[in-house]
A and B are shown apart, each in its own frame.
Chain A
Amino acid sequence: MSLQINNRFLRWFEHRLPIISLLDHSVGTSYPSPKNLSYWWNFGSLAGIVLVVQIVTGIVLAMHYTAHVDYAFDSVEHIMRDVNYGWLMRYMHANGASMFFIVVYIHIFRGLYFGSYKSPREVLWWLGIIILLIMMATAFMGYVLPWGQMSFWGATVITNLFSAVPVFGESIVNWLWGGFSVDNPTLNRFYSLHYLLPFVLVGVVILHIWALHEHKSNNPLGIDIKGPQDTIPFHPYYTAKDLFGLGVFLIFFSVILFFMPNSLGEVDNYIPANPLVTPAHIVPEWYFLPFYAILRSITFDLWFIDAKLLGVIAMFASILILFVLPWLDTSRVRSARFRPVYKQVFWLLFIDVIILGIVGAKAPSEPVFSALRSFQYVDLGQIGTAYYFIHFIVLMPLIGWFEKPKPLPKSISEPVLEGAGE
């Protein structure tokens, strides 16, 4: 279907800057999408919307926030108590960050289940991982801005990760801090970067969508589009479906925002930062917990690498390994629907990540079961970490090799038409 522009002014404008047809080809009637997309395909557009929410509320917060160690905490309280609707803006922004991660994590697991990372979508997948990394950096630096105890100590622990780098470690950390500890220069640069990175994110998201449109969406069957009979136009079908999903999402967001706005945060962050007192229990925001568990589970040296550096390497590797997943997975079949063995280990990986998340929130030396005191959370974390890497490095190549996939349908429309004929 191609676009008919009836309005004379728009036709004049389109002739000079063809933006209407660009939009039409991106999210309009001229963008053919697989006709069988399920609700798991809603989370991409939701992520985009949440990014816009973060940018809009962030720009508003920036109008009232002061990035200085003496004023930052008070300026956030000023936003909460004095600024008109300031509480709403801040709660939207703080909880919006959590929503962003929920949506993006579902989006990623969707990709893992339906094999969306496989040829020809590897670059699309890479861009997604880059988005995840930038998001993490942005959220980490944003969390430092209110300058509470968790802000300060979270920043201290995470920037200190770089001190594990051999030889240059200390210089790198002092360079990151702009001093000899997390202090005013650190707060200022984090604010500058926290403002910048979301816009970088917008740029990478555009590349992500560009790569998506080159080969179109994957779909629950994981097979290629064979012809026009397998597609429907994005508008009105998926615009409507995305809007419905947005409605459901906004209800969920509102429940958290209006009834439990502090449930996802850490109470210690309402205590102003004190560089001389470490809180008894430092925990990152929930969305970093599995990675934090991997970091802490490395308590042993390996060859010449000490435990501290090894932990940092393991933590970064747990994300970076996703870059090579398209080649670690040796199966040609995309969708787990047709992969009986992979389907099981997919869910095992999911459970493993949840367990790592729980471990990340606990003190390492706490026993997991009160009856068995020698089995501590750090041990559970080690098992979880080992399994995480075994999944990618051992299971993915092996399963693709020995698993016998179920027969694939001939085309996307075949099962649908069959059903209609009954």
Chain B
Amino acid sequence: MTSTTDGGHGDTATRRDFLYIATGALGAVGTAAAIWPFVDQMNPSADVLALSSTEVDISAIAEGSSITVVWRGKPVFVRHRTAEEIETANAVELDGLPDPQTDEERVQKPEWLVMVGICTHLGCIPLGDQGEYNGWYCPCHGSHYDTSGRIRKGPAPLNLEIPPYEFLSDDVIKIG
């Protein structure tokens, strides 16, 4: 005897099965489409995205000192490196680094190091001219960065991030 729920066609798939699956699938897609705006509204809004580039005059930064500028609400370090700092950064063996990168890959002009000043561990702001590698030191959980901003010791997994930037002239850079 065949059951009545499958439309009387035995064990094979029926039109009713098809309708169930099609309705269910359409319902799921529709629900997902309805939920998406509620999720996406939390993403950065148009005005926040619009603020995403900053121009900086770097002519006044003396060798061996740095300034902090704000880009997208985050601090960006712009450091005028000394010859000695550049040399130490270049002399480092890449093998032992947690996040291997040459100094060259991290700068456009060796005397200018431009980095997002946010520790890649949990987001604190590292202090300059400090730490065991004379670069930056993050006091929150003890991460040490070298003169190229590479992570050398501590819980942070990655080197300090290099933001997109370009030299508009010798004296002005545009970050973002």
Determine if B12 is an interface residue (Cβ-Cβ < 8 Å).
Answer: no
B97 on the A face (CB < 8 A):
no
Q: What is the CA–CA distance of A200 and B78 in the complex, to the nearest angstrom?
A: 46
Q: Which residues of A contact B141 (CB under 8 A)?
A: 296, 364
Check B42–A175 contact: CB distance below 8 A.
Answer: yes
Interface residues of A in 191-233 (CB under 8 A from B): none
Is chain B's interface secondary structure helix, strand, loop, or mixed overall? Answer: loop
Interfacial chain B residues near A311, Cβ < 8 Å: 155
CB distance from A185 to the nearest CB of B (A): 7
Asked if A308 contacts B124 (CB within 8 A), the reply is: no
Cβ distance B47 to chain A, nearest Cβ, rounded Å: 10
Instruction: Kindly identify which residue among A159, A180, A275, A281 contacts B44, using a CB–CB cutoff of 8 Å.
Output: A180
Interface size on A, residues (CB 8 A): 34
Q: Which residues of B contact A365 (CB under 8 A)?
A: 142
Which residue of chain A lies nearest to B41 when distances are taken between CB atoms in the complex?
Answer: A178
Q: A178-B44, A178-B48, A180-B74 are in contact. Are A282 and B124 (CB under 8 A)?
A: yes
Which residue of chain A has the shortest Cβ distance to B126 in the bound complex? A278
Which residues of chain A are near B39, meaning CB under 8 Å?
Answer: 175
Q: Is B16 in contact with chain A by the CB < 8 A criterion? A: no
Q: How far is the CB of A363 from chain B (nearest CB, A)?
A: 8
Q: How far is the CB of B54 from chain A (nearest CB, A)?
A: 12
B74 CB, nearest partner CB in chain A, Å:
5
Q: How many residues of B contact A (CB 8 A)?
A: 26
B5 at the interface (CB under 8 A from A): no
A180 surroundings in chain B (CB, below 8 A)? 44, 48, 52, 72-74
Whether the Cβ atoms of A185 and B48 lie closer than 8 Å is yes
Are B157 and A306 closer than 8 Å at their CB atoms? yes
State whether A278 and B44 are in contact (beta carbons under 8 Å apart), knowing that A299-B155, A308-B121 are contacts in the complex.
no
The reply to whether A278 and B42 form a contact with Cβ atoms under 8 Å apart is: no
**Cβ-defined contact, B122 with A160, below 8 A:** yes
The complex places the Cα of A311 from the Cα of B155 at a distance, in Å, of 10
**CB proximity to A under 8 Å, residues B115-156:** 121-125, 138-142, 155-156
In the assembled complex, which residues on chain A have CB atoms less than 8 Å from the CB atom of B70? 275-276
Question: With a CB–CB cut-off of 8 A, which chain A residues contact B122?
Answer: 156-157, 160-161, 163, 308
Q: For chain B, residues 8 to 41, give those with C-beta under 8 angstroms from any C-beta of chain A.
A: 39
> What sequence of 0s and 1s flags, for each residue 56-94 of chain B, a beta carbon within 8 Å of any chain A beta carbon?
000000000000101011110000000000000000000
> CB of B169 within 8 A of chain A?
no
| A 51-89 to B, binary, CB cutoff 8 A, 1 in contact else 0 | 000000000000000000000000000000000000000
- A280 nearest CB neighbor, chain B only: B139
Q: Does A371 count as interface, using CB distance less than 8 angstroms?
A: no
Contact in complex: B73, A183 (CB < 8 Å) = yes
A307 at the interface (CB under 8 A from B): yes
- The yes or no answer to B43 lying at the interface (CB within 8 A) is yes
A176 within 8 A of B: yes
Whether A278 and B125, one on each chain, are in contact in the complex, defined by CB atoms closer than 8 angstroms, is yes
Besides A175-B39, A189-B42, A364-B142, 11 other A-B contacts (C-beta < 8 A): A156-B124, A157-B124, A159-B123, A181-B73, A183-B48, A183-B73, A275-B75, A276-B75, A278-B138, A278-B139, A282-B140
A residues in contact (CB < 8 Å) with B: 153, 156-157, 159-161, 163, 174-181, 183, 185, 189, 275-278, 280-282, 296, 299, 306-308, 311, 363-365
A–B Cβ pairs within 8 angstroms, 21 of them: A160-B121, A160-B122, A161-B122, A163-B123, A174-B43, A175-B43, A177-B44, A178-B44, A179-B72, A179-B73, A180-B48, A180-B73, A181-B72, A275-B74, A275-B75, A276-B125, A278-B125, A280-B139, A282-B124, A282-B140, A363-B142
